[in-house]
Amino acid sequence: MSQKIIVLPGDGIGPEIVAEGIKVLDKVREKFRLDLEWETALMGGVAYDKTGKPLPDETLDLCRKADAILFGAVGGPQYDSAPRELRPERGLLALRAELGLFSNLRPAVLFPQLAEASTLKPEVVSGLDIMIIRELTGGIYFGQPRGIETLPNGERRGFNTLEYTESEIERIGRSAFDIAMKRDKRVCSVDKANVLEFSELWREVLESVAKDYPEVTLSHMYVDNAAMQLVRMPKQFDVIVTTNMFGDILSDAAAMLTGSIGMLPSASLDANGKGLYEPIHGSAPDIVGKGLANPLATILSIAMMLRYSLGAEDAAVSIENAVSSVLDQGFRTADLGGGENAAKTAEMGDAVAAAL
């Protein structure tokens, strides 16, 4: 039976970069004779405009039935005045929650050809290949109680709750170990166990999960040290696994090691490996319709989709090799320092498809 992908282009540059991604997917389907089909659905601001909801029921239904979801980006200044619960970004949060996408994979890979584009010294980042796995549906962003209250003395107090159950820790731990098995077999768990009780439990559960993966080496690091090590010696890491909030911060720092936001893919997986794949950047309203958007983060997200949800590792590798080859050929979009001769969005997509 063929595998089904739901494509959600979204807003801003979303449709432009997703179009290039589909070009590449079409090519790879043909080359590897993959039994894949896809269908486009509404999501984000465009869905709000047409249906009054950022995540229409029909789209959610299609996503539930799909094997994987390819997502562009949502949002834009025209929606800033919409009611908070109807803003495009809320649709994405709802989709992640509805589908139980608890494991967020954020690779930070620096193609050696782009070492000069990083703000760090080339020798520190050249050849960088780390995977940050962030817990996505729990922790302090979801914990209850939360709020702002007024105390009897009239002063206000803001509070949130950082909580993780053993099962939540165990499933993100397993996700990290499974991925480490496909890589260099090293997991570094980042916590704050010297200060926070939940972190003690986190460490304990990670240690017990590790017993099922004797080939993988588990280490622990406090989050403050991890932030420092990421900019000091990032190549020491293979897989980093951490909580929702720590992962939010560390993965953005790691993203900058690689030079441009336009290069970074991501995956959000459920317990069965079904996933939503998206570039980490937003809808970039400042460059919409100008051919300036770098489609490589979306194209690399498709490689992740083939690897983690569709079981087509060879097709994934061939996309990654094709991206490397177009960089070798000198193709650069404006964000990669292409200057006057910068490749336009569609030229970059065409070049990757041709390299396949």
Q: What residues line the site for ligand NAD (CB under 6 A)?
A: 17, 73-76, 89, 92, 261-262, 278, 281-287, 293-294, 297, 335
Q: Nearest distance from residue 203's CB to ligand NAD, in Å?
A: 31
Q: Which CB atom, from 192 or from 281, has the smaller least distance to ligand NAD? A: 281
């768990």: which residue's tokens?
A: 189
Tokens of 236: 């020491």
Q: Which CB atom, from 173 or from 282, has the smaller least distance to ligand NAD? A: 282
Nearest residue to 88 (alpha-carbon basis) of 41, 43, 42, 44: 44
Tokens of 92: 């994405």
Tokens of 274: 């079904």
Per DSSP, the three-state class of 126 is coil
- Long-range contacts (CB closer than 8 Å, 24 or more residues apart) made by 322-331: 322/24, 322/352, 322/353, 322/355, 322/356, 323/111, 323/296, 323/299, 323/352, 323/355, 324/111, 324/113, 325/355, 326/351, 326/352, 326/355, 327/111, 327/113, 327/114, 328/113, 329/355
Q: Cβ(134)–Cβ(247) under 8 Å?
A: yes
CA distance 303 to 343: 21
Residues annotated catalytic, as ranges: 141, 192, 224, 248, 252
Q: Nearest distance from residue 15's CB to ligand NAD, in Å?
A: 12
Q: Nearest distance from residue 186's CB to ligand NAD, in Å?
A: 29
CB within 8 Å of 225: residues ≥ 6 apart: none
CA distance 74 to 281: 10
Q: Which CB atom, from 20 or from 67, has the smaller least distance to ligand NAD? A: 20
């900058």: which residue's tokens?
A: 256
Q: Nearest distance from residue 180's CB to ligand NAD, in Å?
A: 26
Nearest residue to 114 (alpha-carbon basis) of 261, 265, 307: 261
Q: Which CB atom, from 74 or from 356, has the smaller least distance to ligand NAD? A: 74
Q: Which CB atom, from 71 or from 202, has the smaller least distance to ligand NAD? A: 71
Q: Which CB atom, from 24 or from 312, has the smaller least distance to ligand NAD? A: 24
Q: Nearest distance from residue 299's CB to ligand NAD, in Å?
A: 11
């397993």: which residue's tokens?
A: 174
Q: Nearest distance from residue 286's CB to ligand NAD, in Å?
A: 5
